[in-house]
């Protein structure tokens, strides 16, 4: 009998689905806060994100199914035993994050952030010309599930889409052109929108330097739903306040929560959301996560390779 531990906020219908996949093996339900160190140490399977520090390279842990797409804290050496199979929830967040990014992009294009500010001062003011997505070249930096979903959305609205991937591959239909990350610098001057959706790994830390922002059009819109560490706060502040680009929307910040005294908050042409594009804000996301967890539980009991297995050296899905 295996020890299956689930810390996802499941309802009865989710339990039914997981238990069916567990083929008669009971599941212990808890939460990331209430789960005990003993339960973690005894678990052969954990479903849901348990604090990385509490896993202590447990030898018992065979399958660890995260409820996040990001894997940063779990691939640090010493956190997991080398035999643990780590799986992420890639795919579950595509719709939620891509739609949030699209909403942010259109908001900036139509200057709705400025109109909202004016509204709060009972002020009927015209902020001038706007732009259309049909005239835009959108650069998607990070062409995983979320990047592809976003690419499909903006393409459906009429944008021209350039995708950037870590590794060379055949061009998917969701983009008009495809390049590898090495070519990013050459692509920045062509973009009306730069959408960063790279995960948080060593290779993406402070990727967007001041020079990168200077390479962008001064009319460009920058959107970051990847990791806040991809841009240093000072660089972002400078890029917007010195008008290297027109505006930006960020759902992630270098330090989270963004400190109350950060000068970023009061930039007129920066829109900040508090890392809400993903998580469980769109109910659909959680349904997908339970779906992935049930599927991988079934694979585990059938002795099959699960889906979304994470490569410890890259932090990406293998």
Which parts of this chain interact with a copy of itself (CB under 8 A)?
95-96, 99-100, 102-104, 106-107, 109-110, 112-113, 115-120, 122-135, 153, 156-157, 256-258, 260-262, 265-266, 271-274, 276, 280-284
**Left (φ > 0), alpha (ψ -120 to 50) or beta: where does 255 sit?**
beta
Q: Which CB, 102 or 239, lies closer to a copy of itself?
A: 102
Alpha-carbon distance of 18 to 28, in angstroms, equals: 11
Determine the 3-state secondary structure of 62 from DSSP.
coil
Closest approach, Cβ 198 to a copy of itself, in A, equals 22
Active-site option among 185, 256, 304, 305: 256
Alpha-carbon distance of 171 to 51, in angstroms, equals: 37
Closest approach, Cβ 2 to a copy of itself, in A, equals 34
Q: Which CB, 14 or 113, lies closer to a copy of itself?
A: 113
Distance (Å) of CA 300 to CA 34, 46, 172, 221, 315: 25, 12, 31, 44, 21
Closest approach, Cβ 273 to a copy of itself, in A, equals 5
Query: Do 173 and 148 touch, CB atoms closer than 8 A?
Result: no
Active-site option among 275, 295, 299, 304: 275
Q: Is 227 labeled as catalytic in the residue annotation?
A: yes
Q: Which CB, 136 or 212, lies closer to a copy of itself?
A: 136
- Identify the burial level of 130 via C-beta atoms within 10 angstroms of its C-beta, where 0-12 means exposed, 13-18 middle and 19 or more buried: exposed
Q: Is 205 labeled as catalytic in the residue annotation?
A: no
Q: Which CB, 256 or 311, lies closer to a copy of itself?
A: 256
Active-site option among 14, 100, 149, 227: 227
Q: Which residues contact 151 (CB under 8 A, 6 or more apart)?
A: 138, 140, 143, 161, 163, 174, 175
Closest approach, Cβ 85 to a copy of itself, in A, equals 31
| Active-site amino acid positions | 227, 256, 275
């Amino acid at each position: 009998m295996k020890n299956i531990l689930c810390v996802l906020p499941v309802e009865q219908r989710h339990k039914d689905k997981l238990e069916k996949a567990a083929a008669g093996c009971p599941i212990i339900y808890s939460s990331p806060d209430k789960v005990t160190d003993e339960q973690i140490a005894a678990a052969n399977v954990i479903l849901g994100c348990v604090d990385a520090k509490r896993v202590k390279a447990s030898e018992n842990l065979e399958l660890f199914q995260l409820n996040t797409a990001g894997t940063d804290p779990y691939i640090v050496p010493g956190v997991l035993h080398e035999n643990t199979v780590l799986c992420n929830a890639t795919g579950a967040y595509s719709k939620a994050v891509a739609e949030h990014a699209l909403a942010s992009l259109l908001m900036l294009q139509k200057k709705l952030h400025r109109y909202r500010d004016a509204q709060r001062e009972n002020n009927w003011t015209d902020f001038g010309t706007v732009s259309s997505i049909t005239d835009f070249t959108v650069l998607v930096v990070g062409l995983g599930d979320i990047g592809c979903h976003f690419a499909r959305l903006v393409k459906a609205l009429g944008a021209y889409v350039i995708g950037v991937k870590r590794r060379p591959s055949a061009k998917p239909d969701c983009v008009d052109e495809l390049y590898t990350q090495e070519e990013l610098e050459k692509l920045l001057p062509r973009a009306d929108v730069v959408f960063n959706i790279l995960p948080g790994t060593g290779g993406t830390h402070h990727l967007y330097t001041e020079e990168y922002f200077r390479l962008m059009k001064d009319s460009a819109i920058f959107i970051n739903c990847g990791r806040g560490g991809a841009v240093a706060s000072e660089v972002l502040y400078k890029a917007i306040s010195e008008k290297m680009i027109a505006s930006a929307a960020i759902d992630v910040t270098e330090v989270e929560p963004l400190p109350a005294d950060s000068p970023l908050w009061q930039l007129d042409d920066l829109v900040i959301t508090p890392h809400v594009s993903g998580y469980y804000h769109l109910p659909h996301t959680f349904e997908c996560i339970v779906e992935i967890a049930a599927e991988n539980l079934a694979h585990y009991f059938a002795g099959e390779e699960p889906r979304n297995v994470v490569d410890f050296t890259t932090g990406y899905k293998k």
